[in-house]
Structure 1
């Protein structure tokens, strides 16, 4: 209800729908006298007429009758009037109306056209009573909405006209925030009218709908009403008709809270009386013996017509009746007819509040009883006193009212009914005598019955107590199980994130067992998804059979089918012995050729790029060249150096480099570069200041890099020109020896690993560091780039520690410098490592003589496609087969869009070149076309397979620059479900629907400024409605075919900057710039839950994760880009899982409602999957090389794609959560972790 209500009493003696004129309605002759202000029962008739549609129709006919025949009938009916009194309850039988009455009088219905009131436009009828009608109108001069009240019954100038004028005069005296204001008054065709303040809400009666309110809410409401009535009393105005139907609520809350008191507006002063001032305002026209008011809320002095006793306590009584009804859901007195109700008011005490509502606070019940006292002198003498006592109750202070004791209650009853008291006293005496005479006969039987009853009651109490305790214990056990399971979930995730995956999986498996046994179904998916994700991070190596000696060096053949190993020291005796190299089959772990002998331990091995030659270097300084196919020795240089530590072939295979010492061990070393065919030196030997440990060629073969020990800095790496042997660029310094070096596959970066416990990337041309150091807990002795150049693998450890598992090998993302996967373990320090050329496997050897073969690749995206320019938009086709990506440069007039295969990243069709950066992209529902929107507002649809345009180009003006504070950009572009229209909008005023095939706008609601500026818009799931959020806090639902507003409601006090339909289309989630989020029911426009407040932050995005039970919000400071993501239950306002942690801030958020997942993309390049019902992460964080601009799930939820500023489109498969029995899943995970050699032990 959004208007002033027509006056409807809380107790309706006659059903307005089923009223029977022959049983309860007054005779029409009585109604005639009522219209002329005659008759003794005017008030009672007025109460009945206001609720009886039949009597209102008769009054309409009598009022508008103008024919001579009708007037004669009226005179005839007047002569048939029979008076009746209201001294006691009775039901009068009215005279039946003449049969021809309806055929003589003209019929006028409430649906007649509204009157034309000068200066006002009548907008519609709001309510109609027995005498007056209330219209919604607009004042033409001021343009504001008002409630216009005027008579629709009675002759002009009668007592009803005077009563309406009196109401206007009374309201004109009052200026109070909780009293309806009067604006204007006048007359039209002899009938008075006046305009009132428009209240956009409902009545207190309709808001409560007969339901009891919380005690504090009821007290707060009546305190506000009493304060307003007290102000009216001070101004000399008695209301005399206070009831819930005459109290309006302006925008009340959806749930009964104390905030409702702020919405109170007291109205309907039609029966008001001036009591304190003798001025131009006269008392309403009342005849002696005339009954005024509503029976259920009348004070006794009103009901028995004691007009000399009517005063402020009379209104206090009505306030007490209202308080009684708010606490109990019913008025103090209720009977079948008004007359019977009046009899109860005068002669009976109200039922104590605590009997109807045992939980009512004693102080509030005492205040209610004091208001309802029969004697006006013992009530609160002023409404302000009542308001003060209610304030004391709400503040927890002592109240002034005192409860009435039994003795005082009995004395009052005796004074009201002396005759009845005498009869009762005599009866009591007789009963006492009879009781004494009969007591001895019944005593024994009564005692026995009492004992039996006590036993029965005790048994019932024990049974109920046991049931309650059992239920409490069950709930407590369930809550304890939930907390224990959540603790295991958090503990398991923490262990996994720290790299101890085995321990984390054990906790997760235990947690899944607990939630399954306890029936905690909401927690189970989080455990299952994390078990699936983290189990993929358990790397199970294949360990080689024991070698006869320690393996110091390993190298893969170019085709990856053979592994070359170099053996050094007997691992049992640790004594020097002759060494050898040997080829092995890494899949079968068996030799693939004979031993390639040396007279000393072999420290270094290498293949040429063709895989046809092998070079080996040993402790005695010898270097040998072998035929890889026949294992034949081609050439041997016995004294190449005094000790060889590293060898490497050039990329073209024409030369090889040997690095080592020139004299005794740990003396300065040098590098010698020789022709692979002739063994001649290519350039002079390259000396180094200390022991030389590593050498590697650049991909173009023109340079090589070396790593050595040097003083005073500790260690250095240097790039050299192969042709001349001269240094290129400055040295790359570490604080300890450089033990491993490598060029990136593109030759732009140099990787160094040092015993200072770091690995570092360097710019080849400048020699400057690229990113921070990759810090290890141990010296780093081996390092290599992955073949795709996107990651590096490092290995090391402490040579003094043997036997316990060490985190010896780590994989790092070169773009972020962060670990990509948990460490691989070995039992000792890593001597050497090699990555298979396809990047799918890693082999490492350690100082304990172990060689392990690790599978790799599951930690990489399934698609990692570079599209050069920064990527700002991405969209899946409806079938998940394709991805459309768009981006470009903001600094240059350039943009590009491209369709890719979602599974492989391969381009589909040709790329589409644009003159501006592409800011938004979307697939049509059929998946055959996609549309792009550029920075300047150009919109066009393209064929997905060919990249050819489909339809004309059109321009949507006023598109705001994308990539503002709102995650995912500011522009929204969506196809309608039927694929015929495009909705284009942004948060700065643009909102238009286009027919893309013709380039014609269907409608345009764009505006650049003002209260109607559009800040958010979305299609409904069925496409029939468009949701529009505006600057003024309104949410509008518009027809998609013409843009007309079908429904609107106020969803906030500030701009609605984010709004979205629920998946079933029945609700709207709206977020405001004022930091509030709320769920709204579309059908009623009422909230479905409390306001979710984000403090001083502004809401920037909202969405659904799990139907209407879990939603997310993105919020942050208005002028900053930092944002936080939170998950909520919108129906309770409770936070789910806490505030999600963020790396720097979240840039993009996507939700997947099938598995109830949320994905976040951060400005730091981090992508994380979250479980909606628990707010916990799902699997490890994955990293991109730049800020995430857009992230999106495939429609089936099986993959997720991210577009980032580094120009890459990356796709990851989401975990497959199976429904296999929990016991089987747990057994499989435990078997997996127990099989892992070398994982950490508790």
Structure 2
């Protein structure tokens, strides 16, 4: 059975239902039961239904290989339109471009599948313009992009093909997209063309890149899916399940930043501007407006020639530093996110740039790399970068992270020998009284070497622009805290009691919220913890975020730690760490107040409070 909705001139609604018995218009009356309307086709055999954007034309793909159409300008008196027949045997899907200039159908004939395209001529009639054959296979779905420039075709072997169409609807090139395993039982582009949704016969909703078909996000479903449809405004996606006749409504936009086609390597946020930046192996950095967390949206895109491995905002949020897999460091003006401007580019390192950090005053930048070097750069008034110092220890074999502390007076590095090293942030050795000497053209010497972790020290962060609280994370899954003397930087930092371990695999990120009182740690095991460190001698986990099966490669807090961004694969999730907001959202979607048991199941990391009062 297939169905689609259409508007009526009197403000009511019409529903076209096609099944094995008949194709009929049904009238809907608010919450009342629909009543049968005109019979469109008495034989049935309808496999898929689409209604034009204006609600006036319905097209039905039929099992006899014919595409039947009706004019529903007056749903009480539908008018048959010329049927479209390209000599196929078993049409299983139909799709219409936004303006109705193209129609595509899928032929599910065993061993002789094909996608068929019709184009509207100047006289309003449709002409068959192309057939895309798939010998030995059958087509399960065919979906046109709203602008009619791309056609996605799903086959019974689970493969997905993307056709680039010219203005006449002819497939000029076709490429195979990422294979997701099961065949597409339903498929449609979002109304704005930004996503391709696929209902998998295996029971998952896949969101794909609209151009390449790369899977951006997989949303699991307990039973196989058989259909899907977008609402006209793109705010809701309805999926129909095979078992039990159930349907689910997915609200968009999701609290997920979608768009990267490669693994996300780093995440940075700037609370003051409400922006986030994500770096990826796909050669892009994407800027996101997360000022309205419920509706995150992409605000800009920075193109690179290769993979991007690190990203950092300057204190004002107007400039962005990016580091690449081939060792380059770039400085961008992102005052206007939609039109980022490259300010400078330097060949800094011989291997991946692993981390970037700005000093609190914004005139100095640090870059770390697997090539064993940490460089300090002066950000000059003309927005160019000049290398100031090389913070390198011969015994190390790679630097994983770098951070500024004490107003930029100190630099901390997390290194492969398990140590956290603390350096003079001015890039030249201090005198014994703590005051800097003149700059020397030589490698610097660390002020302190802190034995921090078994294995690699993977990440490091200071609690704030002028704070002496230092945190580190390592391959051993531990988080360590240190107290640096704010007046006497040469005094050995004090190691604080180790917090209870919350991660089972190595910690990929430690970073502090803007208030300096909340520490975020994220790990390869798909867990992230928010620690209250008001008393750093007794840190307390406030919230634990869990994403089973994921591996966090980056994380960053925003809104003072009330929300968290985590990266895993090509997906960046936006979490709420606010118990009140989580309860309100659950109340709004659960349909009934949460019991104590329901609270424990849904919000296991929050103390129970009676919700929904």
**TM-score normalised by the chain length of structure 1:** 0.35
Counterpart in the other structure of 1:730:
133
SS at structure 1 position matched to 2:179: strand
SS at structure 2 position matched to 1:771: coil
The 2-side partners of 1:869 and 1:982 are apart by 30
Q: Deviations over 1:107-132 (max 9, x none)?
A: xxxxxxxxxxxxxxxxxxxxxxxxxx
Counterpart in the other structure of 1:628:
73
Q: Deviations over 1:1159-1217 (max 9, x none)?
A: 4689xxxxx5534769976256689xxxx9754332523444478997xx956243532
Shift in alpha-carbon separation, 1:1198–1:1180, aligned structure 2, 3 A: farther
Counterpart in the other structure of 1:1026:
411
The 1-side partners of 2:522 and 2:416 are apart by 29
Counterpart in the other structure of 2:505:
1139
The 2-side partners of 1:596 and 1:583 are apart by 9
Counterpart in the other structure of 2:574:
1212
How far is the alpha carbon of 1:1006 from its aligned partner?
A: 1.0
The 2-side partners of 1:1228 and 1:561 are apart by 43
Q: Pick from 134, 143, 146 the counterpart of residue 742 of structure 1.
A: 143
Shift in alpha-carbon separation, 1:744–1:703, aligned structure 2, 3 A: same
SS at structure 2 position matched to 1:860: coil
Counterpart in the other structure of 1:555:
4
For the Cα contact (< 8 Å) 1:1011–1:1031, is it kept in 2? no
Counterpart in the other structure of 1:564:
15
Shift in alpha-carbon separation, 1:616–1:1025, aligned structure 2, 3 A: closer
Q: Deviations over 1:222-272 (max 9, x none)?
A: xxxxxxxxxxxxxxxxxxxxxxxxxxxxxxxxxxxxxxxxxxxxxxxxxxx
Counterpart in the other structure of 2:610:
none
Shift in alpha-carbon separation, 1:603–1:555, aligned structure 2, 3 A: farther
SS at structure 2 position matched to 1:1196: helix
Counterpart in the other structure of 1:1237:
none
Q: Deviations over 1:356-394 (max 9, x none)?
A: xxxxxxxxxxxxxxxxxxxxxxxxxxxxxxxxxxxxxxx
Counterpart in the other structure of 2:595:
1226
Are residues 1:1065 and 2:454 paired? no
For the Cα contact (< 8 Å) 1:697–1:743, is it kept in 2? yes
The 2-side partners of 1:702 and 1:985 are apart by 51
- Superposed, 1:645-1044 pairs within 5 Å as 657=83, 673=84, 685-688=85-88, 691-696=90-95, 701=101, 704-710=104-110, 713=111, 716-719=113-116, 725=128, 728-731=131-134, 733-734=136-137, 738=139, 740-745=141-146, 747-752=149-154, 754=156, 759-764=158-163, 765=171, 769-775=176-182, 782-787=186-191, 788=193, 790-794=195-199, 810-814=204-208, 817=215, 820-823=218-221, 834-842=229-237, 854-857=248-251, 860-861=254-255, 863-864=257-258, 874-879=267-272, 881-884=274-277, 900=289, 902-903=291-292, 920-925=310-315, 927=316, 929-932=318-321, 940=331, 942=333, 944-945=335-336, 959-961=348-350, 964=352, 969-976=353-360, 979-987=361-369, 988-992=372-376, 994=378, 996-997=380-381, 1004-1006=388-390, 1010=394, 1015=399, 1017-1020=402-405, 1023-1027=408-412, 1037-1040=422-425, 1043-1044=428-429
For the Cα contact (< 8 Å) 2:6–2:55, is it kept in 1? yes
Are residues 1:1194 and 2:520 paired? no
Q: Deviations over 1:29-88 (max 9, x none)?
A: xxxxxxxxxxxxxxxxxxxxxxxxxxxxxxxxxxxxxxxxxxxxxxxxxxxxxxxxxxxx
Shift in alpha-carbon separation, 1:596–1:1053, aligned structure 2, 3 A: closer
Matched length: 526
Shift in alpha-carbon separation, 1:717–1:934, aligned structure 2, 3 A: same
Shift in alpha-carbon separation, 1:970–1:731, aligned structure 2, 3 A: same
How far is the alpha carbon of 1:554 from its aligned partner?
A: 0.5
For the Cα contact (< 8 Å) 1:896–1:917, is it kept in 2? no
For the Cα contact (< 8 Å) 1:568–1:601, is it kept in 2? no
Q: Pick from 1153, 1156, 1170 the counterpart of residue 528 of structure 2.
A: 1170
How far is the alpha carbon of 1:984 from its aligned partner?
A: 1.5
For the Cα contact (< 8 Å) 1:1035–1:1056, is it kept in 2? no
**TM-score normalised by the chain length of structure 2:** 0.63
For the Cα contact (< 8 Å) 1:707–1:739, is it kept in 2? yes
Are residues 1:1048 and 2:448 paired? yes
- Superposed, 1:475-486 pairs within 5 Å as none
Q: Considering fraction of residues, name the structure with more strand.
A: 2
Shift in alpha-carbon separation, 1:632–1:1180, aligned structure 2, 3 A: farther
Q: Considering fraction of residues, name the structure with more helix.
A: 1
For the Cα contact (< 8 Å) 1:1137–1:1174, is it kept in 2? no
How far is the alpha carbon of 1:907 from its aligned partner?
A: 7.0
